[in-house]
Amino acid sequence: LTVRAGSYADELVKTAKTIASPGRGILAMDESNATCGKRLASIGLENTEANRQAYRTLLVTVPGLGNYVSGAILFEETLYQSTVDGKKMVDVLVEQKVVPGIKVDKGLVPLAGSNDESWCQGLDGLASRSAAYYQQGARFAKWRTVVSIPNGPSALAVKEAAWGLARYAAISQENGLVPIVEPEILLDENNVMFEGILLKPSMVTPGAECKDRATPKQVAEYTLKLLHRRIPPAVPGIMFLSGGQSEVEATLNLNAMNQSPTPWHVSFSYARALQNTCLKTWGGRPENVQAAQETLLIRAKANSLAQLGKYTG
Ligand code: 13P
């Protein structure tokens, strides 16, 4: 049985507004088991379910998290997981006033007939998975697709990425989940309600190997120029990914973006730029949990101030 988008319309708008609320943004903690394994390896830990559970427990139980963080994106494992104290992670988040979200894409695979580009899997069975995730407490979703440079982006890859995102967005909304969507999307062809989505683009920054660094003001100017040209004011929030920027860089760039009024809530949906110091401080040791949680809160608060355009370093 398919639920029509209309039946969730009010709730979707409300969820999107809650996530895009002043001074708050998203904690992305939806690393796949493989990616989480890489993070754990960086502090000398094995990629076991127990270690992933310990780390994710640390993240969701940061005291006061909800003051700065409105939503947390989870990997499927965490949506069904309990903390080390046996409480559902989802319930802990809700008590913290943080909306639980879920990564629903199934990752990238080679796009046949393209120039070594990729496409994103996950549409098969997405409606039933989304309904189950809603039952489990998720209220928003994320789908990450990639168009690559310099191999592409070919017209084929762009079309595939846009179509996949738009289908995902429509399916999410029909099942009560606010879709976090990445850029350049043929949404109007798929009856996606702009008021009930959030956009998660990367910022316009120099390439990782580029020697000339850009100032936060330049990053903000280029990024906002593009967004103003393309993104309808009906979209409630632009939640940037950090994409390998340093923690401070990501905060400064967000702060620069919030120096002038914008039609949308401009905020963060960072994984690495919120977690890097926290993970290192923890190092897998129970005695470091509190110190690690404090570092996460420092980054969350800095980005909260940057969302308000009031970060001073
Ligand atoms: P980063 O902020 O580390 O780039 O991760 C973003 C993301 O998409 C995770 O949900």
**What is the per-residue pLDDT for 152?**
81
Q: Is the pLDDT of residue 271 over 90?
A: yes
Mean pLDDT, range 26-41, rounded to an integer: 97
User: Please, is 243 exposed, middle or buried when counting C-beta atoms within 10 Å of its C-beta (0-12, 13-18, 19+)?
Assistant: middle
**Which tops the pLDDT comparison, 313 or 212?**
212
Q: How far is the CA of 191 from the centre of ligand 1 (A)?
A: 27
Catalytic residue among 200, 211, 247, 280: 200
Does this model's pTM top 0.90? My answer is: yes
Cβ of 28 below 6 Å from ligand 1: yes
Q: Is the pLDDT of residue 1 over 80?
A: no
Residue whose CA lies nearest to ligand 1 atom number 8:
241
Q: What is the pLDDT of residues 293-309, one digit of tens each?
A: 999 999 999 999 999 99
Active site residue 160: no
Active site residue 200: yes
Catalytic residue among 31, 174, 182, 247: 182
The lowest-confidence range among 31-45, 86-100, 149-163, 273-287 is 149-163
**What is the per-residue pLDDT for 184?**
40
Give the range with max mean pLDDT: 11-15, 114-118, 189-193. 11-15
Q: Is the pLDDT of residue 167 over 60?
A: yes
Atom of ligand 1 nearest to the CA of 274: 2
Q: How far is the CA of 107 from the centre of ligand 1 (A)?
A: 14
**Cβ atoms < 10 Å from Cβ of 134:** 18
Mean pLDDT, range 3-27, rounded to an integer: 89
Q: What is the pLDDT of residues 217-240, one digit of tens each?
A: 999 999 999 999 989 999 999 999
Mean pLDDT, range 20-42, rounded to an integer: 97
CB-based contacts of 208: which residues, under 8 Å, 6+ apart? 244
Cβ of 254 below 6 Å from ligand 1: no
**Which tops the pLDDT comparison, 244 or 304?**
304
Mean pLDDT, range 115-128, rounded to an integer: 94
Q: Is the pLDDT of residue 26 over 50?
A: yes
Cβ of 242 below 6 Å from ligand 1: yes
Residue whose CA lies nearest to ligand 1 atom number 6:
241
**What is the per-residue pLDDT for 144?**
92
Q: How far is the CA of 28 from the centre of ligand 1 (A)?
A: 6
Q: How far is the CA of 44 from the centre of ligand 1 (A)?
A: 22
Atom of ligand 1 nearest to the CA of 200: 8
**What is the per-residue pLDDT for 210?**
86
Model confidence band, residue 4 (pLDDT cutoffs 50, 70, 90): low
ipTM: 0.94
Model confidence band, residue 5 (pLDDT cutoffs 50, 70, 90): low
